[in-house]
Each structure stands twice: as structure tokens, then as C-alpha cells.
Structure 1
Amino acid sequence: MTLALGVRAQAAGTRLACFDQLGSTNAEAAARARAGEVGPIWFVTTEQTAGRGRRQRPWIAPRGNLAASLLEVIDVSPGMAATLGFAAGLALESALQAVTAHYIASYAVPLAIDYRLKWPNDVLANGNKLGGILLEAENMADGRLAVVVGIGTNIVAHPTGTPYPATSLHALGLQVSAEQVFAALSDSWTELRGLWDNGRGFAEIRRLWLQRAKGLGEPVSIRTGTTVIEGLFDCIDEAGCLIVRTPEGRRIPIAAGDVHFGSTASAGAS
């Protein structure tokens, strides 16, 4: 198969740059922005050799996995641009739901996969990490932001020995390709990006995200540097911060950190 945009993404005028192999789709997108590209355009490969996750953690995509980055230069504040990551999580979750439903209907396979969104940037399948999102932004000379939304998905393989357990679609019994997932993702992104609407639609994005959130209302532990904050996962606020309700009744907003729920709360960073 060949990587291609979905029908809705094509109709929206989104463009596509495919690579047989690439160091980092996010780095490629950022370099193109500095050279004058304004997007929207996807940079996609099924083999990424030098990708990054949050806090410079490596994100390697062996051949058959999916690494995709969407570049768009937009006129929004950095704080508002950060909320686009929630739309990206919803887009990946929606795409996974679509390809799973199609696979089950096509092959009558009795699969049961529970997809959830883990704050701030992960997509889980049956409780294990399946995909991650890295959103980066850079100021342009005209005052706008070049926003790169990187989305990595484990299709055929997943890392082992990670602090937070990982999985892949093939390990879950879903024998689909990166090409199928990307076509669905490009379409769902088109819908969710439109709903986000440069931040004007974040209230609805937030509502939809909370419906799919992992651990809402459950015990949570957030590690930020050497500090650990524990309580209940109350919600996310209008800025996208995770709100922890402490045993004393305080509501503490968390802008960044490593999250663990329930019995895994005392584990190391994810």
C-alpha cells in the first residue's frame, strides 16, 4: 500500500509529503516552516530513526509503524496552540476506532480494544501506550506560529522495558497497516482541527476529550521534577491543565508532568 490522504483531508486542501525513511517527521516539518512552508501539510514515514517524544525521550518507529507530523502556520498565542494537542489525541483515537470497526466488520474478528486518552499526550489501548503526541511551535518573522503536531503510533511493533507498558495494534490482534491508520487519521484530524478552530472550539474539544479520558475521578500521581502531587484526577481546565483534587480538598492545576493512575501511581516516570 501507499501512504495517502483520506477523502476529507484531500477535499480540505491538505497536502502530503511521504518518506520511505526519515530521522524525524517533526524536525522535517520545522525545517520546512523555516524555509517558508505554511501548510497545512503532513510529513509522514513508516520508518523513523531519530524521533523524539516529550522531554527529549527517543521515539523510534521501526518499519511498519507510523510517524506523522502536521505543519500549519497559524495566528494564535502559544498557550492556545498548546490546546491543539487535545484535538490531536481525539483525532488519533477516532481514527483507531474507525479502522478497528472496519477490521472487525470485514473479518468478523471478536476483538475488544478499549482506547483511552492519557493526559497530556498519550493514546492507550487496553491500558497500554499505543501512541504519543509531540506538539512543538516556533515563532515566525510575521508574528505567527509554526505549529507542528507530531503523532506516533505503534502499528507492527512496540518498545519493551519502558516505564509505562506499551503495545502495538498487531500485538492486540488488529492486523492493519500504517497506510490504513494514516488515511483515517488525516480525515479525523481534518474534522477535529476544524472543531478546534484556532482555539475557539476548545470547550467542545475539552468535553469530548474528558469523555475518553483515562483515570477521570480516580487516584492519580503526578511527578514534576522531584515533586510528586497525589489526589484524584478531577478534570482538565480551560487551558488544558490537569486538575488534581487533594485529600485536603484543594484543586491544583498541573501544566506538565508524568502521570500514573491507581495502583501504578507510585511507579517511575512514564
Structure 2
Amino acid sequence: MVLESLLSILADGEFHSGESLGQQLGVSRAAVWKQLKKLDALGIDCHSVKGRGYRIPGGVNLLQIEQLRQGLAPQTLQGLTQIELALSIPSTNRLAMEQAQLQNCHGRLYLAEQQTAGRGRRGRDWASPFGRNLYFSLSWSFSGGAAALEGLSLVVGLALLQGMQVEGIDGVELKWPNDLLYRGKKLAGVLLEMSGDASGLCQVVVGVGINIAMPQAAAQAIDQPWTDLETVAQRSLDRNRILAGLLNALVPAIQQFEQQGFAPFREQWQQHNAHRDRWVRLATESFAIDGRCLGVNESGALLLQTENGEQAFHGGELSLRSLDDS
């Protein structure tokens, strides 16, 4: 708790002396110094200037559960049974999946300021620097098994896009089955994982990673074009407000999907399809097929016009890219 309190004080970006930090935290100067060293392990740049004290240049926009709750609509609050926030964990999805093995975690939201082993689809690493982006996982129970989950990743992507629109962020597109793009650059991704009965009651973990203000240093290992919300919006963004807006769109969308499936969302998804009417290549490690993207059907399967006619492809380990970018 001392480290969390220290971060809350330094979050304003101003100088704080070691003495004042010790007084506010109720610990010795030596204990303050030990906590300051822990900031290095989190990848937080903390400057020390003799005679002035310590500061985090530019400050840090920390997630705060109470502030988040104030921005949530009544329906969203009712849908969320618990909100957990960690400073640094390997992965919000991993934590959610571990807890789902032990108990019913329906409606439980897991947040982290940093992930040390964040994952994207197909096992790719997801850059997760401290306090700069959004990483969260939502556990949800479904009674219809795996078959009832068709199109869920598309619904999640659409809800995230609509949450961004509420904040005045336009121009975001959806890449089947679970990415959000802006001008062809990756902005966010969705990772769904399931546990339980594949044909009955199951728990799904909806993992989301969204680039908000990605530091260049943290993005060096990203192997594809990327962007972040502050670049798109051309202004500073409050992560608590953005997260609240996303959840206000996401929770009702999942609740509607639970009752009605993907069909009611199809036309809206089509309107934001990044590859609409474009020539694309759909591939796995063992095959590839080219065709013109016709959108998706009522179950969320990708429709391609190929040399063998119209074909439907469901999610999984499929990779989609535009041939126009080749």
C-alpha cells in the first residue's frame, strides 16, 4: 500500500522532498528511498534533484476505482459485480482465467497499470508499459457453450469503437475478427478465452488492450504499424474517463449479445469494416486464400468472394490482411 500511496503523491508531476514524502506516508526517509527504487522496476522514470526532491516528469494518470465508478452508468454498475485493480501483474487475462477455474466470476473486471506478460491474439506479445495504456479483462458467464459465442469478439470491438465515439474519437475501423485500427494502424485488440463446459455453462474472459499514450521506447518491439488514442484525438486523455466510456458501451453490448447473439450488431459492424470491398488474404500456417471482403454474416463469420464463389470463414487462428497494402 505504501508504493500505491507514493505513486498517488508523485502522480502530479511536481517535486516532493524525501522528508515530505516520509511525513505523508508515515514512514522513514530510508523507507521512502526503498519505495522509490521500486519505481525503476515498474519502468517509471523518477527524477531526483538535490534540494528539490523527487518527481515523475509529466506525472502519471493513474487509474482510480472510485473515480471510474463515478463515470459508470447505472446499467454498467449493475453488470459489474467486482472491480480489481493491480499495479503490475503478468496478465489480466491470466488472472481472470485462474480465478474462473476456482469460482464463478461473472461480471468481475480486472484492471492493471502494467502487464509484464501481456498477450495478444495468436500468442503475440502485447506492449504494456506502466500507466500509459488500458489493459483490462472482463469475466462473463454464458449458458450456451462455445456455439453461443460466435461473433462475440466482433461485438466487443464494435462496443469499444462506439465508446470511443462518445468521447469524440472518430475514424476508428474494425478488422475482423478482433482488432481496432486507425488509418490502417493498430489501436486496440481483443483476446477471448473460455473455460468450463464447451457445450453448456462456460465462463469467457474478454481481454482488451488499448493504446492510449504509448511511449516510443515501449513500442520498439511492436512488429506492425500502430497508433494510440492521444495521437488520434490530438489531445491528452484521462484514462479513467476513457475506460468508463468504454465500459458503458461494452457491458450493455455483451448483455444484448447474451440474449440475441450477433445478428442485431451485424449492420453496425459492417459500417466500420476496415476491409469492406477490399481484396484480402486470409491465412493460417498451412493455407492461404485470396478474395474480396464482403463483410460478415449473421453469426460473425467473414464472407469472401473467391474464385470458388462466396465462402464463409469463422474465427480461430486466421490472419487477415489487405492485398492493397502488399
Q: Does 1:202 align with 2:262?
A: yes
Q: Does 1:261 align with 2:322?
A: yes
Once residues 202 and 144 of structure 2 are traced to their aligned partners in structure 1, the CA distance between those partners, rounded to angstroms, is 7
Once residues 148 and 202 of structure 1 are traced to their aligned partners in structure 2, the CA distance between those partners, rounded to angstroms, is 18
The residue aligned with 2:143 is: 75
TM-score of the two chains, using structure 1 as the length reference: 0.85
The residue aligned with 1:20 is: 87
Unaligned runs of 5+ in 2: 1-61
Using the TM superposition, give the Cα deviation of residue 162 of structure 1 relative to its aligned residue in structure 2, in angstroms. 4.2
Q: Which moved more, 1:119-128 or 1:142-151?
A: 142-151
> Are the aligned partners of 1:79 and 1:239 in contact in 2 as well (CA < 8 Å)?
no
| 3-state SS in 2 of match to 1:71 | strand
Map 1:235-246 → 2, pairs under 5 A? 235-246=295-306
With over 3 angstroms needed to count, the CA separation of the structure-2 counterparts of 1:40 and 1:131, relative to structure 1, is: same
Once residues 131 and 98 of structure 1 are traced to their aligned partners in structure 2, the CA distance between those partners, rounded to angstroms, is 17
The residue aligned with 1:84 is: 152
Q: Name the larger-Rg structure.
A: 2
Task: Give the counterpart letter for 1:183 in structure 2.
Answer: A
Q: Does 1:145 align with 2:212?
A: no
| Structure with the largest fraction of helix | 2
Once residues 259 and 142 of structure 1 are traced to their aligned partners in structure 2, the CA distance between those partners, rounded to angstroms, is 28
Q: Deviations over 1:101-141 (max 9, x none)?
A: 5xxxxxxxxxxx41011001001123211000001111159
Once residues 168 and 253 of structure 2 are traced to their aligned partners in structure 1, the CA distance between those partners, rounded to angstroms, is 19
The residue aligned with 1:136 is: 193
The residue aligned with 2:246 is: 185
The residue aligned with 2:106 is: 39
Once residues 199 and 104 of structure 2 are traced to their aligned partners in structure 1, the CA distance between those partners, rounded to angstroms, is 13
Using the TM superposition, give the Cα deviation of residue 160 of structure 1 relative to its aligned residue in structure 2, in angstroms. 4.5
> Are the aligned partners of 1:219 and 1:261 in contact in 2 as well (CA < 8 Å)?
yes
The residue aligned with 1:59 is: 126
Q: Does 1:123 align with 2:180?
A: yes
The residue aligned with 1:251 is: 310
The residue aligned with 2:73 is: 7
The residue aligned with 1:110 is: none
> Are the aligned partners of 2:262 and 2:300 in contact in 1 as well (CA < 8 Å)?
no
| 3-state SS in 2 of match to 1:171 | helix
Identity of aligned residues (%): 28
Map 1:98-109 → 2, pairs under 5 A? 98-100=166-168
| Structure with the largest fraction of strand | 1
Q: Which moved more, 1:147-156 or 1:180-189?
A: 180-189
> Are the aligned partners of 2:101 and 2:195 in contact in 1 as well (CA < 8 Å)?
no
Using the TM superposition, give the Cα deviation of residue 98 of structure 1 relative to its aligned residue in structure 2, in angstroms. 1.6
Task: Give the counterpart letter for 2:204 in structure 1.
Answer: V
With over 3 angstroms needed to count, the CA separation of the structure-2 counterparts of 1:254 and 1:121, relative to structure 1, is: same
| 3-state SS in 1 of match to 2:164 | helix
TM-align CA RMSD:
2.2
TM-score of the two chains, using structure 2 as the length reference: 0.72
Q: Which moved more, 1:11-20 or 1:185-194?
A: 11-20
Of 275, 278, 287 in structure 2, the residue corresponding to residue 227 of structure 1 is 287
Q: Deviations over 1:211-255 (max 9, x none)?
A: 111111111111221422111001212332211101x36112222
Structure 1 stretches of at least 4 aligned residues deviating more than 4 Å after TM superposition: 140-143, 160-163
Once residues 222 and 127 of structure 2 are traced to their aligned partners in structure 1, the CA distance between those partners, rounded to angstroms, is 13
| 3-state SS in 2 of match to 1:180 | helix
| 3-state SS in 2 of match to 1:156 | coil
Once residues 79 and 125 of structure 1 are traced to their aligned partners in structure 2, the CA distance between those partners, rounded to angstroms, is 31
The aligned length equals 252
